[in-house]
């Protein structure tokens, strides 16, 4: 059974890692599996999009999810328009 952690807690752990805490230290201090910490670090790592723009892996995944939802909504609207045009 997995535990649920708040985004604020995850961000704090990532900040601690980025400020020179090791995985072993974070593991022993907070009782978090190293794999969990590495996952949070990977999701928070900035990705260069443009010259002056970066986003995180989590932001990218959220955008993909939102884009898929919007594409689905557009398909539904297209089908609805076709039905109304017939009448």
Which residues have C-beta within 8 Å of that of residue 17, sequence separation ≥ 6? 23, 26, 37, 41
Q: What is the CATH number of the domain that holds 32?
A: 1.10.10
Answer yes or no: do 22 and 54 share one domain: no
Q: What's the pLDDT tens digit per position in 28-60?
A: 999 999 999 999 999 998 888 888 888 988 898
For 47, list phi and psi in degrees, rounded to 5. Answer: -115, 130
- Residue 72: domain span: 46-87
How many CB atoms neighbour CB 81 within 10 A?
Answer: 10
40 shares its domain with 2: yes
Asked whether residue 40 falls in the same domain as residue 51, the answer is no
Using a cut of 0.95, tell me whether the model's pTM lies above it.
no
* Gap between the Cα atoms of 45 and 38, Å rounded: 10
Q: Are 11 and 33 part of one and the same domain? A: yes
Pinpoint the alpha helices (H) of 1-87: 7-18, 23-30, 34-44, 57-86
The token duo for 69 is 């939802």
């Amino acid at each position: 059974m997995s535990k649920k952690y708040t985004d604020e807690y995850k961000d704090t752990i990532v900040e601690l890692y980025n400020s020179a805490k090791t995985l072993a230290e974070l593991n022993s201090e907070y009782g978090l599996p190293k794999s969990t910490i590495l996952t949070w670090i990977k999701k928070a790592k900035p990705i260069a999009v443009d010259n002056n723009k970066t986003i995180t892996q989590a932001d990218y995944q959220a955008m993909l999810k939102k884009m898929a939802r919007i594409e689905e909504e557009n398909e539904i609207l297209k089908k609805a328009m076709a039905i109304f045009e017939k009448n």
